[in-house]
């Protein structure tokens, strides 16, 4: 019993070691703009294109990155409270990915100057 368990685990351990060597350092993760854009594309379903939607779902475009990151980390790690859905969404990302998403949306102008339908200031 013991032996068969060890035999089953050994290849998995080997694979983990191999991927550990190949994976980039977790301490300083960097994401390409393509990677962040891919992660951020799912947010548009609720927060509007580029996070600019104004309404029942809070605007995230153009908000300070530190605020967005704090909120995302609270959704992920905090007690369930003032959240309906973001707790479950935030759990799908690493802390580093949430920081990258916060930076992504903070850098977007909340008013899309090219879209007259969306030319309103976000509500606080
Ligand atoms: C299913 C719809 C949905 C999706 C998808 C979604 N959000 Fe949200 N988001 C919400 C809602 C609703 C809230 C308000 C808090 C709550 O009810 O969970 C919110 C709140 C937030 C807030 C806090 C804003 C504030 O003013 O407190 C941030 C930041 C945020 N979302 C970022 C994101 C990011 C980044 C993504 C993509 C990874 C994302 N959201 C995807 C629905 C969504």
Joined tokens for residue 45: 């379903």
> Is 25 among the domain residues?
no
> Is 52 among the domain residues?
yes
- Report, as an integer, the average pLDDT of 84-90: 92
> Is 42 among the domain residues?
yes
Distance of alpha carbon 29 from alpha carbon 124, whole angstroms: 32
Joined tokens for residue 12: 């998995």
Distance 92 CA to ligand 1 centre (A): 13
Structural domain for 74, as ranges: 30-112
Nearby residues of 71 by Cβ (< 8 Å), 6 or more positions away: 86
Residue 90 CB–ligand 1 contact under 6 Å = no
> Is 96 among the domain residues?
yes
pTM: 0.71
The confidence band for 123, taking pLDDT boundaries of 50, 70 and 90, is low
Q: Count up the domains in the chain and report the number.
A: 1
The CATH number given to whatever domain includes residue 50 is 1.10.760.10
> Is 13 among the domain residues?
no
Joined tokens for residue 71: 């909120």
Distance 58 CA to ligand 1 centre (A): 7
> Is 82 among the domain residues?
yes
The confidence band for 113, taking pLDDT boundaries of 50, 70 and 90, is confident
Residue of higher predicted confidence among 19 and 49: 49
> Is 117 among the domain residues?
no
Helix boundaries (H) for the chain: 2-22, 33-41, 44-47, 65-77, 86-90, 95-106
| Main-chain phi, psi angles of 108, to 5 degrees | -90, 130
Residue 122 CB–ligand 1 contact under 6 Å = no
Digit-coded pLDDT (tens) for 41-69? 999 888 988 888 778 888 999 999 999 99
> Is 14 among the domain residues?
no
């Amino acid at each position: 019993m013991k032996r068969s368990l060890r035999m089953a685990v050994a290849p998995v351990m080997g694979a983990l070691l191999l991927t550990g060597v190949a994976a980039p350092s977790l301490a300083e993760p960097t994401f390409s703009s393509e990677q962040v854009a891919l992660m951020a594309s799912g947010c548009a379903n609720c927060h509007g294109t580029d996070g600019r939607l104004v309404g029942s779902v809070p605007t995230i475009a153009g908000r300070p990155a530190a605020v967005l990151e704090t909120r995302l980390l609270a959704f992920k790690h905090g007690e369930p409270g003032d959240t309906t859905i973001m707790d479950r969404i935030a759990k799908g990302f690493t802390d580093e990915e949430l920081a990258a998403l916060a930076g992504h949306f903070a850098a977007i102008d909340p008013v899309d100057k090219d879209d007259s339908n969306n030319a309103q200031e976000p509500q606080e």
